Amino acid sequence: MAEARAYFEDIDKEVLLEESPQKHAADNNDEPTVEEQSPLPPIQLASGRKVTREWVNSLPALEELEPINLETLVEDDGDGDGDGDDASTSTDEKDDVAAPLPVTRPSVAALGRRSSILLPPAMRKPSRGSLPRMSIMPSDATAAQGSTGSRGSARPRSSIVAARTSVAAERARHSSLAMPTLAEDEDAVTEPIEAVPTAVDPEEDGVADSLDTNLRALLNDCDQTGVKCEDDLPSMADVIDEFAPLPAALPVGGLGRKKKAAAAPPRLRKIGEGTFGEAFKDASGKVYKVVPMGGTVLVNGEEQKPVAELRAEAVVALRLSHLGGDGKSASYTCPFYAKTHAVRVCRGRYDDSLLAEWCRWDKENESENDRPDFFPEDQLFAVFIVADGGTDLEHYRFRSYDEAIAVLFQASLALACGEGACEFEHRDLHWGNLLIAPAENELGPVMLNGAPVEIETSASCVKVTLIDFTLSRVVTPDGGVAFCDLEGDPALFDGPTGDTQADTYRRMRKAIPLETVCLMEEVEEEEEEEEEEEEEEEDDGDKTKAPKRTEMVTRRVRDWSKHVPSTNALWLHYLVDCVMNQKSGPGGLALNSEQTKVLRGFRKRSLRYESASEAVWDEAFRGLWHV
């Protein structure tokens, strides 16, 4: 602001000297009054702001001010517009003032992933590619932007964004990894506000809530609303005590001798592993999926999942688990999704009993993971407690054609119920994410669009369970959208041509609609070439980087938040292909010519279906069910 004061003082001195040189020479220490000053145009500062003399004179002396940035102040100039500009300033001049550019989120490095988490390593192990990111997108304008908390905030990978906003404003404010539903009104802009509302008031008992916003939201979803800080979180042993029953000690010894109790078997036994976590099972059949999150320590050579991403996965799992209701109050009900008993957040080191189980598994199966004994005391974990669904399709041995067609039918029916209930798309239903178990009892109630479904005995000889919703898309109970942007994982679409799973990812991507969006990106400015000076030292290692500027660019991107149920039909095509080419033949399922014709016809037609809700009516399933 000093430049503005000096500018007006110099102008005043020139004017006074021209009017009365003798008077000004005698009284050159007296500043002229406001009435004596002549009207002057506003001055434009180096920052681009235009200010008038009246506004500059209204400020106190610089020595009386606190050390602040004066160029960020805006005073009312009295012209009624409250903008601080002189009333004589034209609209064009005001438009010349540069507005601050939107801040864009930094790009995200891709992380590795493995195809299955709950099962032993597959015979054909997929390569570790990069992991796409999940988001939860509220449906109304009261949604929130992701927190910038201490855990994982340096590299944001998932966020909670407001929906129904303009293309330019939304894409400029968030990276393409969290793409909201786009509004038709391109001028409507929704500003981010408070992230996710807490279920309880953290201040009502006088204790401040010091938790990261995403962690607080996850705790609310997990019914752990009483936690006010990370020190209040339970340990991994506390979670095991809450859900795993204590095994009875085994008596040893014979007749005539005093019996003594042998060491009790482990409460949890490891049954599988994945890139980001371990899977254990208790004596009652519950499976515990333990995933570290939000920390800085690498896990199996990969960065940990952020808290927001685990929250999105928890929301999808809990939402689908509710579909297995009593069939009386819901329009869509089915027992074919993994029942999630609970999701818990815990803190601390890995439990010693689980480390011992990890070592046992390593001796028997040669684990691909690092022994999880390196986590710090403040490490966070998400524990998913789910029902055991049986053996995955990859390792299951079909005993008859009836079992094979029952699996395909139940998978179609499950996806159709999910589509109708919550616009569900699995988007990663490979043969490691479909579990099969013998149907010891009735399958349970099934409702399709409010109509009870009766399944014939031949189609209920086994029970299917869909698992692993890391890449899934679903509408949450409050109307939001939880989805995963697979554009963050370009390697997912680079599999070999002719491989059914790789081709399915590519077909699915092609089905997702393209959107034209505007993004703020940093680009390097082109500098004029200058002649190098001979006296410049060649051994000088300091190189000046070219300056960068932010500009608006247009991109065509896939909007993975959109509901495209044809992706479910594409995965049904993949499943029937697996049954025909991977599970049949010598040593596998024996198919006659008529059965092969039925399966081949369903595989061909599934590529043309717009949803699983259409596929469930395919002629291959004729006679297996009725409403």
Residues with active-site annotation = 428
State whether residue 516 is helix, strand or coil.
strand
The answer to whether 597 touches 381, Cβ cutoff 8 Å, is no
26: how many CB neighbours lie within 10 A of its CB? 10
Spell out the residues 6+ positions from residue 119 whose beta carbon is closer than 8 angstroms to its own: 271, 272, 279, 392, 394, 395, 432
Integer Cα distance of 126 and 433 in angstroms: 14
DSSP for 282-347 reads ETTSEEEEEEEES-SS-BTTBPPBPHHHHHHHHHHHHHHHTTSS-SSS-SSB-S-B--EEEEEEEE
Query: CA 529 → CA 123, 170, 234, 547, 551, distances in Å?
Result: 57, 38, 62, 14, 23
- The token duo for 546 is 């070219």
Give the position of tokens 């994410």: 433
167: how many CB neighbours lie within 10 A of its CB? 17
How many helices and strands, by DSSP H and E, does the chain display?
Answer: 14, 21
β-pairing, 340-347 with 474-475?
unpaired
609: how many CB neighbours lie within 10 A of its CB? 22
Integer Cα distance of 624 and 460 in angstroms: 9
Q: What's at 619, amino acid-wise?
A: E
Name the residue among 615, 609, 511 with its Cα closest to residue 564: 511
- The token duo for 309 is 């991403």
